[in-house]
Each structure stands twice: as C-alpha cells, then as structure tokens.
C-alpha cells in the first residue's frame, strides 16, 4: 500500500503520478483508496492500494489550517488526472475517516461526467454510484420564505441529526440575506435511519431535482448547504452537483459550537 501524507511544508512524496503508474502495473479492476483527515487513522488494510492522509492539514479534528480545503481539492484533482492518464477509468472505491466536506469534494471531482465508476465503503456497506435508485424513499421539504429579492438559499439536510438550531444561528451570521430556507428530512423515517445504497442514490437525485427547480424559479446565485448525513451520501450529492451549484459547504466546529465555511463546489 502506498501512503501520501499531505502537509504545507513540503510536496507529497512520492508524487501522485508516480504512484498511479505503479498501481497501474498490476492492472487492478478496482483502485481501493483510503482517505483520512480527522486525526484518527484508518485501520490498516492490505488490500488497499493507496492512503490519502490529510491529517497534517488540520490543527485538530475541527480546525483546518489556512488553505487546507484548497489543497485537498487540488490533491483530489491531481489524483483523478493521474489515474486517467496512467490507468484509464478504473472503478475507484474510497474508504473514509474524513470530514464530510471531503466526501462532497470527492464526489464532485469524480463526478458522473468524468466517466469514473465510483464506490464508497460506507461503514462496512458497499455503495456503488451506478447502482439503481430506490423508488421507496421520499424526502419531506419545508420551505421558509425570506427576502423576496435575495439571491441566496439555504439547504438544511437533517437525516442523522436535527440541524434547525444550528441553521437558525448561521442565518443570522451570513453576510447576505437568504431568499428561501429549504429544510429537508426523510419522510416517515426517524433521525438516524440507516440508509442503503439505493436509498442514498434516490436522495441525491431528489435533492438535485429540488435545486434545479429552485434555480429555475429564483435564479439563485449560491446555496448554503448544511448537512447531517452519511459520508457516502455527501459523495453522491457532490457527484450530481453540476447544474445546481455553487454550493457553499460547512463543517461543524465542536470547540466553537458553530458551523464554519469549508469549500465551495459547483
């Protein structure tokens, strides 16, 4: 297994292009990649080809160093391009112990348009992005109207935790007013309901359709996205984010008890 540790004082060694070339020599049907950023390491896996270690880009679990999200996004782009150049379009399976923002970024970098088949190890269950969607999982959307001429929305996805209080706090701190708040929950399912891959795919598609409709109606400029969701679902939403962005992502800062901006995807 190859490990790349990213920090801000020196370039990653060996470089990603070299590693992709070495992995490609074994002609694997699937590239297995671990990704960690929460100051807690993934268990070692001898079947894994590559580990992306972003721990050194964070002061602690909740505090990124300056430009950390930009560097992570750049590293993922470099990885995608290296795999495409050296191997082609193999299936890529990520196993995470990482921030939710990185899930969104991975899905966005390896989006459907790139042609990469994408999979996620979601707490021991395998999720494939190209799996069929479930028709039996519905979302409940509550819409709160803000200022009519505002050009930004807030999307709150509460699947594992109720984000209402945190979202109320964030709305008051945003520099620009909100036109609408879209509060999304699972219909007829409790908080913390364990999703399967097909249900996650259905949720991602429903959210994409929701934002496409909102964009057609309000021509918004940005969506502030707060989410309490499984990591794999963040990948699927990021993978389908073209035509609905830009999406401003946030991470919960446990020490400050507040959501802070992380990355933006489109």
Domains of the chain by start residue, with CATH: 2-98 (no CATH), 139-265 (3.40.50)
pTM for the model: 0.95
Task: Give the closest residue to 4 by CA, choosing from 82, 91, 111, 84.
Answer: 82
Per residue in 152-194, pLDDT (tens digit) is 999 999 999 999 999 999 999 999 999 999 999 999 999 999 9
Asked whether the beta carbons of 36 and 96 are under 8 A apart, the reply is yes
Asked if residues 139 and 164 have their Cβ atoms less than 8 Å apart, the reply is no
Q: CA torsion, points 141, 236, 229, 210, in degrees to nearest 10?
A: -10
* pLDDT > 70 in the chain, percent: 97
Binned at pLDDT 50, 70 and 90, residue 10 comes out as low
* pLDDT at position 244: 86
Torsion of CA 142, 148, 151, 154, to 10 degrees: -20
């Amino acid at each position: 297994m190859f490990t790349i540790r990213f920090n801000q004082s020196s370039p990653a060694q060996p470089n990603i292009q070299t590693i992709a070339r070495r992995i490609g020599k074994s002609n694997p049907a699937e590239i297995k990649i671990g990704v960690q950023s929460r100051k807690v390491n993934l268990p070692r896996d001898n079947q894994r080809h590559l580990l992306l270690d972003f721990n050194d880009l964070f002061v602690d679990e909740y505090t990124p160093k300056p430009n950390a999200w930009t560097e992570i996004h750049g590293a993922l782009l470099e990885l995608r391009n290296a795999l495409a150049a050296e191997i082609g379009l193999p299936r890529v399976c990520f196993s995470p112990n990482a921030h939710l923002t990185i899930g969104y970024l991975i899905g966005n970098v390896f989006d459907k348009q790139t042609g990469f088949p994408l999979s996620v190890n979601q707490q021991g269950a395998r999720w494939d992005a190209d799996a069929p969607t479930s028709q039996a999982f519905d979302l409940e959307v509550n819409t709160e109207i803000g200022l009519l001429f505002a050009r930004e929305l807030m999307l709150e996805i509460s699947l594992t935790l109720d984000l209402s209080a945190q979202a109320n706090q964030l709305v008051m701190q945003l520099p620009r007013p909100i036109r609408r708040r879209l509060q999304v929950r699972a219909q007829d399912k409790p908080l913390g309901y364990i999703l399967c891959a097909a249900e996650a795919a259905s949720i991602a598609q429903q959210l994409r359709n929701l934002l496409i409709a909102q964009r057609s109606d309000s021509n918004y400029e940005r969506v502030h996205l707060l989410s309490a969701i499984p990591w794999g679902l963040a990948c699927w939403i990021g993978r389908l984010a073209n035509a609905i962005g830009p999406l401003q992502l946030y991470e919960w800062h446990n020490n400050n008890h507040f959501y802070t901006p992380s990355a933006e995807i489109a």
